[in-house]
Structure 1
Amino acid sequence: MGACTVRHVTFTLLAFFLTSNPGRSEASDAASALYNEGNALYRQGAYEAAIDRYQDVVGSGIRNPDVYYNLGNAYFKAGALGQALLNYERARRLAPSDPDISGNVAFANTLKVDRFDIDAPNAVTRFLSAIYTRLSPNGLAAWVSFSFLGICFGLAGLLFLPGRRVRWFVVLGVASLGCVLSIALLTVKVDELNTPKGIVLVPETVGRSGPSSDYLQVFTLHEGTLVVLERQEGQWGLIRLPNGIGGWIQLETFGMI
């Protein structure tokens, strides 16, 4: 596995708590104590107890990749593959370029029962996919800003230093292309992040043709499978699988990323 050791964060990860506010400072101290206690329990092999402490940190409103990463490791050690993948994916959503998180997601996925018939990507597609996965919305937004500055720089060069028009046209062209690509990737990334996805948490669940156990069984899913939630009806959700097949499963059988 990529890395199954706890991460020691001295709660600079809680910097968003304003220390000038006594109430928030106390909340930060409490979350820090819970997190450190969870790390200590994890090192002792008390994974269930560590899970409780990490869950308490999350329950306090903390959204940090290191907390989810450690929580995923604790669930993995406890034998809960679905919960491990759920928290690894939550961590990866917050830190898409983290190699340990991506490595753990990849390894845990090899342990799943469900496999889908999807065209195998070639080497180029795998390379581009790996780069895209590691891009964050903030990083792409920075590239948009950088490209826009390049466009401004190229236009300024054409206006004030016309003697080197070819060079400035090259700068302008490269910056414009980078800006368009960055905006396109940012749009896709934001849309992807806004798509509701979940992980199956139970050992086995049945997908049906409608939102009731009276409908025809369409497929069977197992723990750890990634699903896309398209809509809900009562206690059932219409989900879509990576191979495009859709069906209804009970909402209580999966957790949202």
Structure 2
Amino acid sequence: MTDSTLTRRADDGSYDGTVAVVTGGASGLGKAIAEELYRRGSTVYCLDLTPEQVSAPLIGVHCNIGETASVTAAIAEVVASAHQLDIVVANAGIGAQGDIEANDDDEWMRVLNINVIGSARTVRAALPHLRESSKAAIVFTSSIAAWAGLPQRALYSASKGAISALTLAVATDCLPLGIRVNAVAPGTADTPWVGRLLDSAADPAAERAALESRQPTGRLVQPNEVAEAVAYLASPTSRSTNGVILAVDGGLYSLRPRPNQG
């Protein structure tokens, strides 16, 4: 299946000839990121549990980031096909709800295995190939939950806090390699996952209004806005942007407006 709406656009050419991997690229933020990188000139491989949902010109590759063998095989498949790898967006993750008492050890291990170790697996498998690129960049997906004390998000917040810390550590280690490492930290985004949370609420309309009003802009973050931020962080022209965790959250982290202030 081909997505006829996805076309290249006039750009500065910096992405031309690059090969990018986006985990979780079949839907949500990952799909928006993959599409934006393609529009700018990359060949984009979407590593996902459901690669059949990926439409050409994007390329779907089956990958379970919770398993080392699956990640290793997926990265090997990309490199065998494209003969290079320049950009890795470690985006895939799962959600978790509840306070500190809500989730047992098994659920903690499941979420951390996907959200934290899964991202580490992806970068670890890609690093030998990124070393060969003159345009190498890694972008992790963190969250506003890493910075702000959101209610009923203890496990999820812990996982994203780990991603933010991991971003800075990997960025430091990769300095001698010429590989830039950054992260994007979205606020509450209008994605299928958030949609499912709203559908399960007792009053979906009231819950959506509460999520929107929590952000100073009064609306949910749009996936394309996160994709634009990732494209900046990964761009070969952003050579001095390194070790940055870029908030795309409508000002939730940094702004303190008065009540009812637009």
- Is TM > 0.5 for Structure 1 vs Structure 2? no
From the two aligned structures, give the one with the greater helix fraction: 1
Q: TM-score, normalised by structure 2?
A: 0.30
Higher relative contact order (Cα pairs below 8 Å, separated by 6+ residues): 2
State which structure, 1 or 2, has the greater radius of gyration over its C-alpha atoms. Answer: 1
